[in-house]
A and B are shown apart, each in its own frame.
Chain A
Amino acid sequence: EAQVTQNPRYLITVTGKKLTVTCSQNMNHEYMSWYRQDPGLGLRQIYYSMNVEVTDKGDVPEGYKVSRKEKRNFPLILESPSPNQTSLYFCASSWTVTDTQYFGPGTRLTVL
């Protein structure tokens, strides 16, 4: 089954404790993205990757890191989480930026 998976689905952590949210897709897509969703703000792109080893900043990259060592995986790293990063995070993939994006189920992160 074609899908995007994210782990964990729920995470409660404390300020400053490094964490990684994993994202994996099995559709051989080139383009992958991370978004955060906050009430009233819709989804905002954090980082995107056009292909392996090619990543770039989206609209709200501060406080986040990503890597794309393999085509299927695109982890999101918060090196020193802060409470303002409490949000619902989505990973997505597509053939190119102009194509349909397929979304993961989301990761609800709370930073205390």
Chain B
Amino acid sequence: SQQGEEDPQALSIQEGENATMNCSYKTSINNLQWYRQNSGRGLVHLILIRSNEREKHSGRLRVTLDTSKKSSSLLITASRAADTASYFCATDNFNKFYFGSGTKLNVKP
């Protein structure tokens, strides 16, 4: 079974707006990571947050982690058309790696 689930499954916004995606997971984790995938291509790492961190920033990305609720969120500020992609959270547990089902983000110019 999948370790992570993302919400919403799809999100459509206008350029300049903020986009928020949520991820829930089931077991204890070491780290939680977010990846981006442009249509049918390989995944690209965006940001990693460790289990003892609560918030992390990287450019226009802000990630939060709540281990008590087993959830994380990814905020993309001032979105651009080039941010259109699918976004996945990923966790590791006992040497295995688990991805959520992803959020498909469409940023309209």
Contact = CB atoms under 8 A, between A and B. Distances in A.
Contacts of A88: 40
Main SS class of interface, B: strand
A41 B100 CA distance: 8
A50 B1 CA distance: 22
Contact of B88 (A40, A42, A45, A106): A42
B92 A106 contact: no
Main SS class of interface, A: strand
Interface of A: 4, 33, 35, 40-45, 48, 50, 56, 58-59, 88, 90, 92, 97-106, 108
22 contacts: A4-B42, A42-B88, A42-B100, A42-B101, A43-B99, A45-B96, A45-B97, A45-B98, A48-B95, A56-B95, A59-B1, A59-B98, A88-B40, A97-B96, A98-B31, A100-B33, A100-B45, A101-B35, A101-B90, A104-B42, A106-B41, A108-B40
